[in-house]
Structure formats: C-alpha cells, structure tokens
Amino acid sequence: MNPDPTDVTLVQAAKQGDRTALVQLVNAYQNRLYRSLLPITNNPEEALDVTQETFIQVFRKLNSFQENAHFFTWLYRIGFNIARTRQRRQRPDSIDTSQIMIPSSDLSAEMKFESNEFKLAIKTAISKLPEEHQQIIVLRELEELDYQQIADSLEISLGTVRSRLHRARSQLRELLQDWL
C-alpha cells in the first residue's frame, strides 16, 4: 500500500519550513494519535501529553522521515515509544476500584459490551499484555491498519504480525473470560 500523496506533499513542504503544512499534519493526525495512545497510557491527560510530545519529536526528526512510508505509522511508532519511556520512568498508579460497578447478570449482551465497566475491563486487559502485543492490538483493532501496514510500522515480518496478533487475541480472551 502506497503512502497518502497528500501526506507526502505536506511532509515535503514541512521539511522546507512551511509552517502551514506542519499545522495541517497536526490537524490531520492529532485526534487519531491521541485515540491510539489512550489505551496504552490509560490516562487521558497522559495521552494528551504524549501526543504533544510526539509532535515535538516529529518536527525535530522530520528530515529522517522516509517518504515511501505511511506518515501515521511513523508518527504512531514515535508516540508509542514516548509513552513507553514515560511509563518506565513513573511508578505504576494504583487502580481505584471503589467506582467500579459490577454489572448485573440480567444485562443483555449488547448492553454488557457497551457498558463503561466493559470498556474499563478492555483497557485494563490491554495494559496487562506484553508491549509487543499491545502494539499489535492497538494498530489492528483500534487503528484498523492492515497486516502489511503493521509490519511496516513495527519493522517486523507479516508472519510475526499474524502470530503476535493471534497470541494477543488469545491473551485478551483469557483476561476477559468473565465478560465473554
């Protein structure tokens, strides 16, 4: 899959100092990047901080971007690495369970999966996965990238993408077995 020609044009202009192109890149990807980082950070403020820090790094490293790649996969990789670095530096926060409500058993399956408790359970389960499996799940299920884009983004083979995705989904099923 070829990179978006609009992205290539914007990156080329930004490399030449066009501030409008930089603003357009931020506007095009800031929300998507934030949504991708939210399950990794499990904290809206932290995801916002990482998103901002990511764009700062992107602007510093823009000349290293290879224009035959997809801009978002490059952007995501930088953001993911920043999020992981920040997590390693911080103590893990304790989870406040006082606000978690246990859903009653009479909820329909649809209501159960749409509940805030289920969403929290998914975020918690994703955060318990190994880093390489978190990346795969976020890129495939949340960002809806195809296998080749994931392979390019993470610089791994298609076979590795498939096997990691299979293992990650299996682990998620185990972690969410009370919900499924």
Task: Tell me the average pLDDT of the chain.
Answer: 81
Phi, psi (degrees; rounded to nearest 5) at 124: -65, -45
pLDDT confidence bin for 34, thresholds 50/70/90: very high
Domain edges within the chain: 1-91, 102-180
- Strand blocks (E) in the chain: none
Three-class SS of 63-92 = HHCCCCCCHHHHHHHHHHHHHHHHHHHCCC
Q: What is the pLDDT of residue 1?
A: 52
Q: Render pLDDT for 52-65 as a digit per residue (tens, 0 to 9).
A: 999 999 989 988 88
Q: What is the pLDDT of residue 3?
A: 64
Quote the CA–CA distance of 125 and 176 in Å, as a whole number: 7
**CATH 2.60.120.920 fits domain 1-91:** no
Q: Render pLDDT for 90-101 as a digit per residue (tens, 0 to 9).
A: 754 444 444 444
Which fold is adopted by the domain 102-180?
Answer: Arc Repressor Mutant, subunit A (1.10.10)
Residue 116, pLDDT > 80, answer no
Is the pTM higher than 0.85? The answer reads no
Residue 102, pLDDT > 70, answer no
Q: What is the pLDDT of residue 57?
A: 93
Q: What is the pLDDT of residue 120?
A: 80
Q: Render pLDDT for 122-170 as a digit per residue (tens, 0 to 9).
A: 888 888 888 889 888 888 887 888 888 888 888 899 899 999 999 998 9
Residue 104, pLDDT > 70, answer no
Residue 33, pLDDT > 90, answer yes
CA distances for 40 relative to 1, 23, 62, 111, 158, angstroms: 26, 25, 24, 25, 23
